Amino acid sequence: KRGHGPYQPHEPGYGLEQPAYSPYEDEIPDPQARMLAIKNAKAYLLKTSTKSGLNLYDHFANILTKILDEQPTNTVDIIEDISKDVKCSQFRKKMDTLRDEHFIPPTFQAAEKYKALFVKEGGGEEEEDLEEEMGQPSLPNVMETAFYFEQAGIGLNKDECYYIFLALKNLINVQPIQTCRFWGKILGLEMNYIIAEVQLQEGEEDKEIAEEGEEIVGEGEKEDEAEEEDEQKAKEAEPPKSTYKPPPEIPKEANGTGTNKYVYFVCNEPGNPWVKLPPVTPAQIVCARKIKKFFTGRLDAPVVSFPPFPGNEANYLRAQIARISAGTHVSPTGFYQFANEDEEEDEGADTYEKNPEFEPPPVAEMVESLATWAHHVKGILKQGRCVWINPSQKSEENDEDEEEEEEEGEEQQEERGPPLLTLISEDEGMKDIPAWTAKASTDLIPKYSVAILQSNRWPGAYAFASGRKFENIYFGWGHKYSPENHTPELPPPAQAEFPSGPGITETVDPTVEEETAFKAAQEEALAEAEEWEDEEGEDD
């Protein structure tokens, strides 16, 4: 019969409970058998699971350790949960060293980044140097501009404004800048763009034009070499040549004029290096009007769209900056004037100067009447330029060879946009929405209020005017408002099939009888020709 013990004679734990043993006896009967049974039981508990790689002995030891350390109440009721927690802890990350991983808080990282903005190049802090830096005419007073926009709840926080103020100072110290202005901030999905609008010194613009000319010359030489190689290959084997002629490329406007009047530098955050944006081309502006893309914050990111955009995100950003500037940069009417009376009649005039006799209108009048505001940046034509140009015009040498192209060019009508310093009251609205909305910063104290102008066509574009001071700024995603949903341009229709005719239609294969008759007719014709030749020879 089986005893009270849980083990059979053939099991490893057999012998731990023998009938003759009593815990009150001083001697343990057969200690060797008992030790052997203990070893067998431990060996059984140490068997490793083929699924989890754990063994029961270590698991029980960990459970008991956890229970004794924590000493929970009603342990017997939660023993299953304790076992599950012990198993889960086996798969958690264990530190290889005694030191914990060093965590750098985001505030410390931001402080390290902005620390470079507060360090002076010379290291000195004399009052004379400070007065010279603050007295620079090219350095804009960003804090003053932020104060006026803050009256209407527009702008950034004071810390960020001051960081941008210091970043612009560093930009002026590095680049040969004549005038500088904080243009605004365009938001992105990953990072944002802080934009500075500058005018380089007179000599620097000529250097840029010369560098671009060298690049164009280098590209022209490469094209000439490629043409020579193509001619050599064509001599070897001449494939059919295409008669398609692409439309002439519209040249970009020169630096310092039109859409390239200003140079723009951007950075993602104050303290990061400033990056100069390339000049904008008419093709980029025309394509930017047909697409609607969010910025990522990376200048080298590709712009995947239809129609394909000719450039990367840096070019797309530059095109949007040109469009926003042309549509939203305004000033009080009469603040600027043309230098000569002839320029007033010339619609292509692009230069103006401050009017010393300007008298600012009261804030109430600037809020009630939009005729007190005027555009001081030329509008962009459908061609993508501020000044229209005939792309079909060629040099006199090619006049005779390309008369047809000239006739087509003459048919093109010249585009004319609104002249400079046009009143914003003439701007067209969008259905029932006016193009502009003017309001005062406060109605409680009208004497010290500021006139605020908001663009509804470009959400995020604002302007303020207070006495002889005014400024334009932009905070937004860089998208134009549309009453309707954006509809991408459809691809061109599929090309029509070539018209079928007798020249390209396949003929029906002749039958055997027709081939036999054709061969017989050929043989008869040859025989008659031979007989006729023989007769002529006899006559001779």
User: What pLDDT tens digit does each residue of the chain (540 aa) get?
Assistant: 444 445 566 665 555 555 554 544 455 567 788 888 888 888 888 888 888 788 889 889 999 999 999 988 888 999 999 998 888 887 766 555 556 667 778 888 888 888 888 887 654 444 445 445 554 567 889 999 999 999 989 999 999 999 999 999 999 989 899 999 999 999 999 999 999 999 988 776 656 655 555 554 445 555 556 666 666 665 566 677 778 888 888 999 999 899 999 999 999 999 899 999 999 999 999 999 999 999 999 999 999 999 999 999 999 999 999 999 999 999 999 999 987 765 555 555 667 889 999 999 999 999 999 999 999 999 999 999 999 998 877 544 455 455 554 444 445 678 888 888 999 999 999 888 999 999 999 999 988 999 999 999 999 999 999 989 999 999 999 999 988 888 888 888 988 888 888 777 787 888 999 999 999 999 999 988 888 887 776 665
- Read off the tokens for 210: 């010369």
Q: Kindly give, in sequence order, each residue whose CB lies less than 8 Å from that of residue 312, ignoring residues fewer than 6 positions away.
A: 299, 300, 301, 302, 303
What per-residue string of b and e applies to 99-123 under the rule 16 or more CB within 10 Å gives b? eeeeeeeeeeeeeeebeebeeeeee
What local confidence, expressed as pLDDT, does residue 529 receive? 86
Contact criterion met (CB below 8 Å) for 184 and 474:
yes
DSSP-assigned states of every residue in 358-372 = --PPPHHHHHH-GGG
Q: Kindly give, in sequence order, each residue whose CB lies less than 8 Å from that of residue 512, ignoring residues fewer than 6 positions away.
A: none
Closest to 186 (Cα-Cα) out of 113, 114, 259, 268:
268
What local confidence, expressed as pLDDT, does residue 440 receive? 94
- The boundaries of the domain holding residue 302 are 114-120+131-211+248-389+414-476
Tell me, yes or no, whether 152 lies in a domain. Answer: yes
Q: Kindly give, in sequence order, each residue whose CB lies less than 8 Å from that of residue 482, ignoring residues fewer than 6 positions away.
A: 430
The domain total for the chain is 1
Q: Kindly give, in sequence order, each residue whose CB lies less than 8 Å from that of residue 83, ignoring residues fewer than 6 positions away.
A: 59, 63
What local confidence, expressed as pLDDT, does residue 95 receive? 55
Tell me, yes or no, whether 176 lies in a domain. Answer: yes
0.85 cut: is pTM over it? no
- Read off the tokens for 487: 């509809």
How far apart are the C-alpha atoms of 281 and 40, rounded to whole Å?
Answer: 87
What local confidence, expressed as pLDDT, does residue 3 receive? 43
Tell me, yes or no, whether 453 lies in a domain. Answer: yes
Q: What is the pLDDT of residues 190-202, one digit of tens each?
A: 999 999 999 988 7
Q: What is the largest CA-CA distance in the chain?
A: 158
What local confidence, expressed as pLDDT, does residue 5 receive? 47
Residue 392 per-residue DSSP state: T
Count of C-beta atoms within a 10 Å radius of residue 133: 13
- Read off the tokens for 271: 């303290």
Tell me, yes or no, whether 270 lies in a domain. Answer: yes
Tell me, yes or no, whether 363 lies in a domain. Answer: yes
Residue 425 per-residue DSSP state: G
Tell me, yes or no, whether 186 lies in a domain. Answer: yes
Tell me, yes or no, whether 328 lies in a domain. Answer: yes
Measured CA to CA in angstroms, residue 303 lies from 195, 319, 364, 456 at distances of: 20, 13, 45, 26
Q: What is the pLDDT of residues 139-165, one digit of tens each?
A: 889 999 999 999 989 999 999 999 999
CA angle (11 as vertex; 5, 16 as ends), nearest 5: 40
Tell me, yes or no, whether 204 lies in a domain. Answer: yes
What local confidence, expressed as pLDDT, does residue 487 receive? 86
Q: Name the burial class of residue 160, with classes exposed (0-12), middle (13-18) and buried (19+) by CB atoms within 10 angstroms of its CB.
A: middle
What local confidence, expressed as pLDDT, does residue 12 receive? 59
